[in-house]
Amino acid sequence: MKVTDELIDNLAHLSRLHFSESEKTALKGDFERILNFVEQLSEIDTTGVEPLLHMGDAINVLREDEVKGSVTRQEALLNAPLHDDVFFKVPKVIKNPSA
């Protein structure tokens, strides 16, 4: 795959990034080195090698669920700077565009 200025511009547009000309030149070199490395990997004979589903041998390393105590609604509301009898109150963050 050839890394072109158009490819760099397209990737920058898709990622919503802006690069100077010197940064684009550096990125072009970096991408070319990455692609050359990946091409070297494709030359390796992987005949008979099973694909990995997981990187390690560990299976289900999660802990057992344990029922533990929790705070009541009233206790939780005691720490809230603003609340009613049931809910926490927070500042409005979604604006109505028609208002």
Q: Which amino acid is at 51?
A: P
CA dihedral 30→31→36→39, nearest 10 degrees, is 150
Specify if 20 maps to a domain.
Answer: yes
Q: What percent of the chain has pLDDT over 90?
A: 45
Mean pLDDT throughout 35-45? 90
Specify if 63 maps to a domain.
Answer: no
Of 61, 82, 62, 79, nearest to 71 (Cα)?
A: 79
The secondary structure of 12-74 as a DSSP string is: HHHTT----HHHHHHHHHHHHHHHHHHHHHHTS--TTPPPPS-SSS----PPPP-------HH
Distance CA 32, CA 34 (A): 5
Domain that includes residue 26, residue range: 5-42
Domain total for the chain?
A: 1
Specify if 76 maps to a domain.
Answer: no
Specify if 29 maps to a domain.
Answer: yes
Specify if 25 maps to a domain.
Answer: yes
Specify if 62 maps to a domain.
Answer: no
Predicted confidence (pLDDT) per residue in 49-66, tens digit: 888 877 777 777 788 888
Specify if 37 maps to a domain.
Answer: yes
pLDDT band for 8, please (50, 70, 90 cuts): very high
18: CATH: 1.10.20
